[in-house]
Structure 1
Amino acid sequence: MSRQRRNRFRRLDGILLLDKPRGLSSNQALQQARRLFEAEKAGHTGSLDPLATGLLPVCFGEATKIAGGLLGARKAYDTVARLGVVTDTDDADGQPLRQRPVPVLDLATIDAALRALTGRIQQRPPVYSALKRGGEPLYAKARRGETIEVEPREVEVHAFELRSAADLLDCGEPLLRLHVECGSGTYVRSLVRDLGEALGCGAHVAELRRLWVDPFREPRLWTPGDLEALAARGRHCLDACLLPVEAGMASWPQLAVGPAQAARLSYGQSVDGGFATRGPVAILDQDGRALGLGEVDGAGCLRPQRLFSWACSQPPART
């Protein structure tokens, strides 16, 4: 009888703050990390284009249950816009579509264009994006040459600021170095594209780096090289760079529950505790360990949404 191949993947819970290198898709970076950690289950929170670098939170195991909440978190980027050239992907990886001369610009003109793209604005996502239509990503349709009309949608841009225009104003390369802070669904490529149109010459993203994602405002990032070096020293060294699941739940209002309440929640039953907080919450036990996500309705009743596997599973108390 042949021996079955041993499954080398393991149960692993935690969050990795990966510094994604340029040239990899988010899924490629995710799969590299998953294989290195030998994790059974993994997911990332918010795609980065292959051109982009920087923070890609990777959730292992039970942490994948909070990934959806992290997708909607506020994010910050530094980007470099190249003026004068429009590409089909709105970044340097695309094919040039139009080239126009860059007019004489001053700081006041640039700042006014940036302000007009700040706040709650209507934005048209790039044609080459992971948004789906008919169950298929738009980029797949675009690669086949299909004509695609993308409807504008409302997004929130908290900050769109000029870091430096020295390259441009000193008669060097037509580059603007910019800082962006934005909410869920905002495309930096679209912001740069629209900025270029406002300045009368077009533009595309030449460089893009994600700096932080709430609640990871000052992240300690790990490059693939860092992780390879840790893995060579042993699995315990590699695992030490993971954050606990609780670290990713800091943006949710937190509710602590007692053992009897935790037991009811683990069986899918609601808890009528007269909770003052309303809406989505992180549920903790009395020792501060996360049990999962829930929601408090208008009557102050806590209902479980997604609980972690280690949540209390003792039978609920009889009433």
Structure 2
Amino acid sequence: MKLSVFTVATPDLVPEELANAAADAGIESIEWRFKEVPADAAEEKPSFWRHNRCSMDPGGTQEDWLGFREAADKYERRSLAVVPYLSCGDVEATEKVMQAAKLIGASFIRAGIPGYDRKRNYNELYDQAVQYLHEVEELAAAYGVKALVETHHLTIAPSAGLAHRLVSHFNPQHIGVLYDPGNMVYEGYENYRMGLELLGPYLAHVHVKNGGYRKTPSVDGTSAVWSAEWSALSEGAVPWRQVIQDLQSVGYDGYYGIEDFSGTFESREMLVRFAEQMNEWTDHKQSV
């Protein structure tokens, strides 16, 4: 089983510390977060989405970006991906991420897709995304870097089915899907094996995290609100042992990338426990 870490989940570690921790945990590849740290966050406690000390700055120089590859190389880790937060339609920013990915030898980036908040019609957003992905496909072919659509809540691709509808227009060598069952706790659940069978050659990468549900009673006691929240890998609603079996059933042999937002463990211990947990869940006879 091939393991990776998306550095959004390790905000307290600088690149070299992260690469060292990944090596110690037996995690062979790194997905580098591609996002600036806001100026007003620099003195804050490290956090996933603001003061993340393991982020490539889009405004950095090529020399700055190469520092991330050098950190990985020092500990014989692979730079697997550059993962940005792109807006759908921003082709210029997308090409910049492609350039960064090619520079450090990464295999893929995450494409931008529209969010969905009931303010715009899904069909308009879908057409916008398809038009954008046609341009992304050309960039992917030119740079030799695959662009992935992530199954993500609050977007037009929360499920395998809706992600497939988007990417099915394109060559799976250039456009694929980042399958994230943890996000599908929030929105987008489908039978895992059915969704994976549908994705077929578009299945390119898997993110590993977990979440569950919390019931909050109303003040008057006549109704309740259910909300999703992140949880430890072994304690959430995603049955990861089953999901891994389903992934094996469709011949998936790619990476499993940790993206744990539960805060259950500090970063170094989280990486070690992730590797241990994945080994426990894996059917060794099938994976050898």
Same fold, TM-score > 0.5, yes or no: no
Q: TM-score, normalised on structure 2?
A: 0.24
TM-score (norm 1): 0.23
Q: Larger helix proportion, structure 1 or 2?
A: 2
